[in-house]
Amino acid sequence: MNKTKKNKTINTDQVLITLCESVCEVLTKASGNNITYSAMVQKITKTCLRPDVSSFVLFDGGFNGIVVTNFTADAALEIYQDYMRNMGMPESEISNSHMSDDVANVLGELMNQLVGDFTFKVREQLQTTITQSQPKMLSINKLVQISVDTSMDRPQMRRVTFTTATNKIFYLEFAMEKTEFIQLHDFEAAKTIDPDEILAQSAKEKAEAAKAPDPVEPEDDADDDFMASLGL
């Protein structure tokens, strides 16, 4: 008698593992230092922005959800500064304040890259497509609750602790509707995105933007005519 093949099932927590792997891969490549996540995950009842630097990204499509990252000031600065040094920026141009716009811009860019890596892996591994919103970065000094429960069916919420190379802590909060993906038959996965290529492209775009000449202000012909009429 032939044995029936048991179909592979992927649940919320396995999707979360994929997201955590994207966070570690992208931030480790960006900073040049090892980023790790805890083997233990917390079940939570709400997603919140927490001090000192926070961001969130919404996604929808094959399933709906939200990704929130909450950095302490020290963790935000360490990742930002390591990234800038990894890109070859001189120390004089690297901010020392987590409130700096430059810190928010860099972390927002990295957030966009890691969620982009996650959405690619979802398409590759789960054979479905999700789209992401533009990351929103905030420097805050109090807790702010974010709720997108109305767009999700039986939302599942988790919090994961991440650690930088020097043991600074930051957190990821994740919510998605309760769902399972059941593999009906084998398929060939698409080519995996290389985080090195993403970061190299980002560095190239930054360098090109820095080399771009400042826009030339158009001359005011009316003022020239007026000065000429005065003999000047």
Grade residue 153 by pLDDT with cuts at 50, 70 and 90.
confident
Residue 19 lies in a domain: yes
How many residues comprise the chain?
232
Would you say residue 229 lies in a domain?
Answer: no
Predicted confidence band of residue 129 (pLDDT cuts 50, 70, 90) = very high
* CATH assignment at residue 29: 3.40.1550.10
Minimum mean pLDDT range among 73-77, 118-122, 181-185: 181-185
Give domain status of residue 1, yes or no: no
Is 215 a residue whose pLDDT tops 60?
no
Is residue 69 a part of any domain in this protein?
A: yes
Is 13 within a domain?
A: yes
Residues of the domain holding 42: 9-216
Task: Tell me the backbone φ, ψ of residue 19, rounded to 5 degrees.
Answer: -65, -45
Question: From start to end of 18-100, where are the E strands?
Answer: 36-43, 47-49, 53-61, 65-71
Q: Residue 144 pairs with which residues in a beta bridge?
A: 49
Is the pLDDT score of 212 beyond 90?
no
Mean pLDDT for 187-212 is 62
Is residue 231, in this structure, part of any structural domain at all?
no
Those residues with Cβ within 8 angstroms of residue 58's Cβ, 6 or more apart along the chain or in another chain: 65, 66, 132, 133, 148
User: What is the tally of structural domains in the chain?
Assistant: 1
Q: Which helix (H) or strand (E) covers residue 37, if one does?
A: strand 36-43
In a domain, 225, yes or no: no
Q: Is residue 198 part of a domain?
A: yes
Q: 22, 118 in Cβ contact below 8 A?
A: yes
Confidence (pTM): 0.77
